[in-house]
Structure 1
């Protein structure tokens, strides 16, 4: 087995040593091992920007590009970096098939320079920005899950956490992380602590969310790290039963070894394990998913523009062989080109609603041939809608296009989009915010309060009239339940206090009812009227 691995790495041009987690049983390839061959590096590889831009000659080598581990720019890996093991990539390329065209279709990792260039085009950038803004627009609200003895102290703690989030610019940092995650496949937030050196000695130590892992007042700043300056150092690829399987234990950040607990990552569109090394342990970028649809739209838009600008062709019927000959001959070769050009120039100069174009009555005629423009708008609109279907953004939000027709509305599409954003927040944003929420509490008072929590504010909000109608319905239900004996007034107040959408949730309803605050019966006369009656 050892000899087989050595020959395989020799074929791939990989160094003899292996990276962390590479001590795993490799599947046996069928057939003889190919002979080593030299590969000429392109400009991109010579500069250290990843794999060569020149494709190898064979289809199997093209398939290998899909599984080759990512090669970061020079300087990202430190001096003690472990060598990458390409054995699994070789097996995947061999089993991938000789007739695959995934690489030609653009499904391989494009590299961060290409993705950065794609983000300069509005058709790629705007969907990324819309999702990132909507995911952080309404933001979060802090709350207390348990019953606190001191409500004032709980409110003060929640306010302190809110102020700390503002100091650290958590909202803006998370928004930029989502932009990186959607635009490049992965987004990182680095947690900076006071007194910790920016070297391997300080950054390689795990950051535990415990009172012993971080001291009070040590949380200094949060920084977004562009994915191009990061690459994993080691990961477990040996035992799938372990929790850290294909999860990097530490990362290289421009030559500095950083523990993964100090680098909070988000991967919106995760790829299978076999492709994670090739994608730098990130995911599929949204611009790469939109590439085919954007190019189809751009081609359709240009074709429609060309058709509109050239929909009418002016035709001048003249006796070119008779009146425009240079020497009076009868051959077409003797046509005076200058005379024809001058005649066409005169027609172009006089063609307007205020001009008069003179034609020879006997030998000339003028005509206009128009191309039909029916259906061009529908074709362009359809290609534009395809771009909105991949990110799931309504047309009115992505392009500002209002629905046409009687009683047409986008409310249903917007509601579905808000549901998608809510699911995106819970799946990708909540884990990062929960870790930051714990670190902020440790930074403030050195402990984590298990009763404190947060929730995302829903993007879909009712109007004041709708909220009042819902509140009235709840009040009628409580009144009916109290009269029937199902619940007591105190239980109704408790339910109202726990209702996040109640108009009276901040009125202190959780406190017991005072005897003096009990309203008198509706038909009972007041004391003053009783005295007057006597």
Structure 2
């Protein structure tokens, strides 16, 4: 018989477990999780494909036969992310341009380019001959014309392109038509190739807008083996002699087509170290902002139980209490807890050593380009009598070697072209030399002058003639 005066038992409520809702706008912070790199490392070693419009209409690319060779070379590189992170393949100019927008990639490139052209050059003459008035006038005229043509600024930007993209071009505007007929003829740097007043300007061309037309790839004994004979510049065929190229980091011949006949850029070499620093920096920042965790020890099955059901935690009540405690936490707030069944504690994460870890990851970024920390980040060395003079002098030696290896070949051609542009000839008495970056200050010069004066006085007292050219 049915009991009319008794209610049916209420079924227990379904337990509602707290869960974390993922953010819809969560984006990967680091390049390793981004999908900008090809998944296959062999894609970065196949011949470079320029954007539409760079290669002329009807031009035939003769590099399909090399695709099998580059696939064979890329078989042992593993996944694309690791290979591209180690600069073993070409990531493409669009990604390199995006990377150059970050200060961590841009600053090393700017520092090297600025230091390599900061003190610039001095026009020299043979030491055996004293320059006459006519030669001094020519030196002044040459210096003025190079300033008008912005040779120094053009070379600085070429270094930025070469380090940022792996390849930099300088194009001399000689007044010829901007067509394949006008730019396809070879440029002869001599009296028969450059007339007086022919140079209009020197222009930087980003490598994105260039691609080689033809090159020899079957006979290593030929002088044009893997050397482009001409370049396509936005559909215009330009002879190779009209583009002054700079490649700071050359690659093997088998990889030159993949890098657009350039090389790996400094930004790509820094990619792994920069991303490690960004990951460390963000981890340290997150840890500092959440280094203390508040712990509330309570009887979750009793005091927070659901009165209408069996002993289980009412997550709404628990969440509400935690939110109330978080809302009132301050130096003027008060937490009210049960003295027998509850306890409150703060668990703090040790922060010792975080600064050393972050500084070490930052130093790795400076070790690849070889730039002292005080030059790259403005960080002074710590410790008693600590000085960066030794590191700066080593860095200046590296810059001098960079100038002689990469800037001097391009500058020599421009130097002779400006002379032909001014006088119709190249003066064999004129040359250039880079001004040393490391220079003495006034105190050091005074000490040297004082030492030389003492030596001259001793030599005069001994009846010995003073040293010529040393006073």
TM bucket (normalised to shorter chain) is 0.7 to 0.9
Aligned-pair CA distance for 1:478: 5.4
Aligned-pair CA distance for 1:467: 1.5
Q: Which residue of 2 aligns with 1:164?
A: 145
Q: Which residue of 2 aligns with 1:374?
A: 352
Is the aligned partner of 1:388 residue 2:369?
A: no
Is the 8 Å Cα contact of residues 68 and 86 (structure 1) preserved in structure 2? Answer: no
Is the 8 Å Cα contact of residues 46 and 70 (structure 2) preserved in structure 1? Answer: no
Is the aligned partner of 1:293 residue 2:256?
A: no
Matched ranges for 1:289-368 at <5 A? 289-327=269-307, 329-332=309-312, 335-368=313-346
**CA–CA separation in structure 1 for the residues paired with 2:211 and 2:354:** 47
Aligned-pair CA distance for 1:87: 2.9
Matched ranges for 1:201-350 at <5 A? 201-327=181-307, 329-332=309-312, 335-350=313-328
For the structure 1 residues 80 and 445, does the alpha-carbon distance in structure 2 shift closer, same or farther, using more than 3 Å as the test?
Answer: farther
**CA–CA separation in structure 1 for the residues paired with 2:305 and 2:63:** 78
Moved more, 248-257 or 318-327: 318-327
Is the 8 Å Cα contact of residues 321 and 330 (structure 1) preserved in structure 2? Answer: no
Q: TM-score if structure 2 supplies the norm length?
A: 0.86
Aligned-pair CA distance for 1:360: 2.6
Is the aligned partner of 1:452 residue 2:464?
A: no
Is the 8 Å Cα contact of residues 69 and 84 (structure 1) preserved in structure 2? Answer: no
State the Cα deviation string for residues 165-186 of structure 1 (Å, max 9, x = none).
1111111111110000000000
Is the 8 Å Cα contact of residues 177 and 189 (structure 1) preserved in structure 2? Answer: yes
Is the 8 Å Cα contact of residues 64 and 89 (structure 1) preserved in structure 2? Answer: no
Q: Which residue of 2 aligns with 1:140?
A: 121
Is the 8 Å Cα contact of residues 42 and 74 (structure 2) preserved in structure 1? Answer: no
**CA–CA separation in structure 2 for the residues paired with 1:126 and 1:383:** 16
**CA–CA separation in structure 1 for the residues paired with 2:440 and 2:151:** 27
Moved more, 149-158 or 421-430: 149-158
Aligned-pair CA distance for 1:147: 4.8
**CA–CA separation in structure 1 for the residues paired with 2:341 and 2:440:** 75
Q: Which residue of 2 aligns with 1:464?
A: 442
**CA–CA separation in structure 1 for the residues paired with 2:79 and 2:368:** 19
**CA–CA separation in structure 1 for the residues paired with 2:101 and 2:182:** 36
**CA–CA separation in structure 2 for the residues paired with 1:156 and 1:317:** 89
- Size of the aligned set, in residue pairs, is 432
Is the 8 Å Cα contact of residues 37 and 91 (structure 2) preserved in structure 1? Answer: no
Aligned-pair CA distance for 1:431: 0.9
State the Cα deviation string for residues 412-433 of structure 1 (Å, max 9, x = none).
1111111101110110011111
Matched ranges for 1:89-108 at <5 A? 89-94=67-72, 96=73, 98-101=75-78, 103-104=80-81, 105-106=83-84, 107-108=88-89
For the structure 1 residues 301 and 175, does the alpha-carbon distance in structure 2 shift closer, same or farther, using more than 3 Å as the test?
Answer: same
- Structure scoring higher RCO (CA < 8 A, sep ≥ 6) equals 2
Which of the numbers 380, 385, 404 marks the counterpart of 1:426?
Answer: 404
Instruction: Name stretches of at least 5 consecutive residues in structure 2 with no aligned partner.
Output: 1-35
Which of the numbers 350, 359, 376 marks the counterpart of 1:398?
Answer: 376
Moved more, 214-223 or 290-299: 290-299
**CA–CA separation in structure 1 for the residues paired with 2:49 and 2:266:** 21
Is the aligned partner of 1:78 residue 2:78?
A: no
Which of the numbers 191, 199, 205 marks the counterpart of 2:172?
Answer: 191
Aligned-pair CA distance for 1:71: 1.0
**CA–CA separation in structure 1 for the residues paired with 2:258 and 2:75:** 19
**CA–CA separation in structure 2 for the residues paired with 1:396 and 1:456:** 24
Is the 8 Å Cα contact of residues 78 and 252 (structure 1) preserved in structure 2? Answer: yes
**CA–CA separation in structure 1 for the residues paired with 2:265 and 2:442:** 40
For the structure 1 residues 150 and 396, does the alpha-carbon distance in structure 2 shift closer, same or farther, using more than 3 Å as the test?
Answer: closer
Is the 8 Å Cα contact of residues 319 and 363 (structure 1) preserved in structure 2? Answer: yes
For the structure 1 residues 478 and 237, does the alpha-carbon distance in structure 2 shift closer, same or farther, using more than 3 Å as the test?
Answer: farther
For the structure 1 residues 476 and 88, does the alpha-carbon distance in structure 2 shift closer, same or farther, using more than 3 Å as the test?
Answer: farther
**CA–CA separation in structure 1 for the residues paired with 2:74 and 2:99:** 30
Aligned-pair CA distance for 1:358: 2.4
Aligned-pair CA distance for 1:97: 7.1
Aligned-pair CA distance for 1:389: 0.6
Q: TM-score if structure 1 supplies the norm length?
A: 0.76
**CA–CA separation in structure 2 for the residues paired with 1:226 and 1:172:** 15
Is the aligned partner of 1:112 residue 2:98?
A: no
Is the 8 Å Cα contact of residues 38 and 80 (structure 2) preserved in structure 1? Answer: no
Is the 8 Å Cα contact of residues 184 and 285 (structure 1) preserved in structure 2? Answer: yes
Aligned-pair CA distance for 1:242: 3.5
Q: CA RMSD in A?
A: 2.3
**CA–CA separation in structure 2 for the residues paired with 1:198 and 1:97:** 39
Which of the numbers 416, 419, 422 marks the counterpart of 1:441?
Answer: 419
